[in-house]
């Protein structure tokens, strides 16, 4: 895999909410980024209409989507237990670690980049 960044949901949600910093960031990593099935579901649930959901899915389809395997689930369970993270966050961290990716997020409450070297905060609002 030639990717280096796992995109967290908040980055894509910012883009769909017309936040220029998110759009600029996505453009800069478009060939180096992947999604997880968690991100895909969290982003798609936010679209009200089928038409909007379809347009959102079209953008998401440009990124490879990492599945949750038994190995990832087991790793996420350990992370959730040890860190107290919500399950979606534990899955994101487990996927990033398993695939040697940076987790790109604005969620500094759960993912403090000073405590978690695999976390990248590409912009702030």
pLDDT band at 113 (very low <50, low <70, confident <90, very high): confident
Domain boundaries along the sequence of the chain: 5-107
pLDDT digit string (tens) for 24-80?
999 999 899 999 999 999 999 999 899 999 999 999 999 999 999 999 999 999 999
Query: For 5-107, CATH number?
Result: 3.40.50.1010
End-to-end CA distance of the chain: 31
When pLDDT is averaged across residues 94-108 and rounded to a whole number, the result is 95
Helices (H), 1-125: 9-16, 20-29, 37-44, 50-60, 70-83, 87-98
C-alpha span between 56 and 118 (Å, rounded): 27
Judged on CB neighbours under 10 Å (0-12, 13-18, 19+), 11 is buried
Spatial CA neighbour of 89 closest among 43, 44, 19, 36: 36
Does residue 1 surpass a pLDDT of 50? no
Structural contact between residues 44 and 56, judged by C-beta atoms closer than 8 angstroms: yes
Position 34 scores a pLDDT of: 97
**E strand or H helix at 102, and its extent?**
strand 102-104
When pLDDT is averaged across residues 105-114 and rounded to a whole number, the result is 90
Spatial CA neighbour of 58 closest among 69, 47, 72: 47
Structural contact between residues 13 and 111, judged by C-beta atoms closer than 8 angstroms: no
């Amino acid at each position: 895999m030639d990717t280096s960044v796992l995109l967290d949901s908040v980055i894509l949600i910012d883009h769909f909410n017309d936040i220029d910093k998110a759009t600029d960031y996505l453009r800069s990593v478009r060939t180096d980024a992947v999604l997880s099935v968690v991100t895909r579901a969290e982003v798609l649930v936010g679209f009200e209409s089928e038409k909007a959901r379809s347009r959102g899915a079209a953008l998401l389809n440009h990124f490879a989507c990492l599945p949750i395997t038994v190995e990832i689930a087991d790793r996420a369970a350990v992370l959730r237990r040890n860190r107290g993270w919500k399950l979606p966050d534990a899955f994101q961290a487990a996927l990033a670690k398993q695939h040697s990716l940076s987790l790109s997020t604005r969620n500094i409450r759960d993912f403090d980049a000073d405590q978690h070297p695999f976390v990248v905060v590409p912009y702030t609002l």
